[in-house]
Amino acid sequence: MKIQYSPEAINDLHRVVEFVESENPYAARRIAVDLQEGMAKLAHFPQIGLPVLKAPDPESIRDLYISNYTVRYLLNQDTIYILRVWHTKESEKDQ
Q: What's the pLDDT tens digit per position in 11-61? A: 999 999 998 998 999 999 999 999 999 999 999 999 999 999 999 999 999
2-89: which CATH number, 3.90.420.10, 3.30.1490.20, 3.30.2310.20, 3.40.50.850?
3.30.2310.20
Sequence-distant (≥ 6) Cβ neighbours of residue 32 within 8 angstroms: 13, 17
Boundaries of every domain in the chain: 2-89
Number of H helices, E strands in the chain: 2, 5
> pTM for the complete prediction?
0.90
pLDDT at 92: 59
User: How confident is residue 93, by pLDDT bands cut at 50, 70 and 90?
Assistant: very low
For 21, residues 6+ apart whose C-beta sits below 8 A from its C-beta are: 28
